[in-house]
Amino acid sequence: MTDLPPIALSVRQPSAWAILHGGKEIENRSPGSIRAGGMRPGRIALHAAVGMTRADYDYLVWRWARDGVTVPRPDALPRRAIIGSVEVVGIVTESDSPWFGGEAGLLLRDPVPCDPVPAPGALGYFAWSPGGALAEPLDWMKGWGAAEGGLFDSLPVLMAVPPVKPFGRRSRG
């Protein structure tokens, strides 16, 4: 896709990936952040934020595996880049979607991925411009899930105990 919208929303990985490739149809936000960020319906560019903690990643990999979504390794997820676009079709305060887990959320449709375009991010909706470089993988990302000797690197990581949800106020499991 070469014609990206001029307005973007920054989303942490792996949620940004799941919006484009994993069927994530709601991006959870507080009502205050939706108002303050000027969020409204319309097509927007999707920015993969620089930030991604191991706790966030582990929880989301575990959570989405229950729905059959396999997330790429953390070192394979681009960060600090526009990675596609999506249509925001509404704002919801309740939903039966497994992706809904907060007070409010942006209802998303028609995701279109693109090759990563390095760009700095910002809070809320923002006018983006290309620049800089993709964020380099952190050490924990490079070694995530690796078995001694690499024999089982291609297998999904199974967690004996579900990880603690590291964000949000209310668990929707």
154 pLDDT above the threshold of 70 = no
User: What's the confidence (pLDDT) of residue 68?
Assistant: 82
- 7-132 CATH fold: 2.30.130
20 pLDDT above the threshold of 50 = yes
pLDDT in tens, 109-124: 999 999 999 999 999 9
Q: Over pLDDT 70: what percentage of the chain? A: 82
169 pLDDT above the threshold of 50 = no
Contact predicate 41/78, CB 8 Å = no
- Domain locations in the chain as residue ranges: 7-132
pLDDT in tens, 21-79: 999 999 999 999 999 999 999 999 999 999 999 988 988 888 888 878 889 999 999 99
Strands of the sheet containing 7-11, edge to edge, are: 26-29, 104-118, 81-92, 42-48, 7-11, 125-127
Q: Over pLDDT 90: what percentage of the chain? A: 66
Residue 160 CB-half CA count within 13 A? 0
User: What's the confidence (pLDDT) of residue 152?
Assistant: 43
As given in the structure block, the two tokens for residue 160 are 């004996």
User: What's the confidence (pLDDT) of residue 158?
Assistant: 57
User: What's the confidence (pLDDT) of residue 173?
Assistant: 35
